[in-house]
Amino acid sequence: MELVSGGAPRHRRAPLTPGRVLIHLVMIAASVACVVPLLLILAASITDEDVLANDGYRLIPRVVSFAAYQFILVLDPDQIVHSYGVSAFVTFVGSSCGLLVMAMLGYAISRRDFRYRNMLAFYVFFTMLFNGGLVPFYIVVTQYLHLNDSIGALILPYLVIPFFVLLLRTYFAALPRELIEAAKIDGASEWRTFFQVVVPLSTPSLATVGLFCLLLYWNDLWLSLLFIDSKALFSLQYLLWHTINAIQTIEAASQTSGFRPPLQTVRMAMAVFAIGPVLFAFLFVQKYFIRGITLGGLKG
């Protein structure tokens, strides 16, 4: 268990003092606070629309109804499935390419015998300090790179995140030099050394950064807000954002006409679809995230 401190472990069985009970109560309260907002969304998604409108959002639905899910899955699944696809594609391609690019970059910077190492380090890390602002970035991407309203705009800008390059560099630098020298003595080229010696040894840090990249791409709204206009390129987050904001006008119109499609519950159901994969992934990867943060991320 990596999180155990060095030195003698505490063997004493914890006595159940009031202080200890209080600590657990506080932690349970904090845990509940973390989970309740999501339960609210789940509860709202399986509530009957009229009951939701009249009685409000509750943690336990008064009248259960799966109409929202029916609406999405049966009547109009196209947009949400399509957006899922866009998000999945962007996330997968972006994370894998980004990880490769950043790993190679971080590795080059980590090699003390690389002649251009310091220059490269400054080149990469200066961008963490200073940028030209949003408008120049926007102008470059839309008018010079012609990426507006394209899938490239959703993938390319995040392929190199200097902070992750820093994490990778730190990890690569900690590998023993003898390994690389041994590979060289055996006649391996730099490429072979990297892919066949260094990478297999670095799976923890590569996994951590890879997971951070996955999270970054999957949850991103920013790039879509800036560059995306056409529905075919709506990511899942962007679709969700549009739904909760555009819904106002539809609601106002429906009140006059008397017809009430399951609007709020549909919104919440869409949110459940968005959280689902994240929750699923979380259960598997939270261990690696925590390990990665404690080992390498103490920089905060």
Applying CB under 8 A, the span of 62-70, 71-79, 116-124, 252-260 interacting with other proteins comes to 116-124
Does position 217 bind other proteins by CB under 8 A? no
- The CA-CA-CA angle for residues 119, 120, 121, to 5°, reads 95
The C-alpha atoms of residue 105 and residue 99 are separated, in whole angstroms, by: 10
SS (H, E, C) 63-96: CECCHHHHHHHHHCCHHHHHHHHHHHHHHHHHHH
- Contact of 123 with 169, CB cutoff 8 Å: no
Applying CB under 8 A, the span of 5-13, 67-75, 201-209, 253-261 interacting with other proteins comes to 5-13
The C-alpha atoms of residue 43 and residue 40 are separated, in whole angstroms, by: 5
**Residue among 73 and 97 whose Cβ is closer to other proteins:** 97
Residues 183-202 touching other proteins, rule: CB under 8 A, are 189-191, 194
Residues 66-85 touching other proteins, rule: CB under 8 A, are none
The two three-digit tokens of residue 210, written as one number: 């890879």
Which letter does DSSP use for residue 47 in this model?
A: B
Does position 93 bind other proteins by CB under 8 A? no
Among 86, 124, 233, 266, binds other proteins (CB under 8 A): 124
Applying CB under 8 A, the span of 1-9, 64-72, 76-84, 171-179 interacting with other proteins comes to 1-9
Applying CB under 8 A, the span of 16-24, 62-70, 72-80, 88-96 interacting with other proteins comes to 16-24
Task: Say how many residues touch other proteins, by CB under 8 A.
Answer: 115
The C-alpha atoms of residue 46 and residue 68 are separated, in whole angstroms, by: 7
Among 151, 201, 244, 288, binds other proteins (CB under 8 A): 244
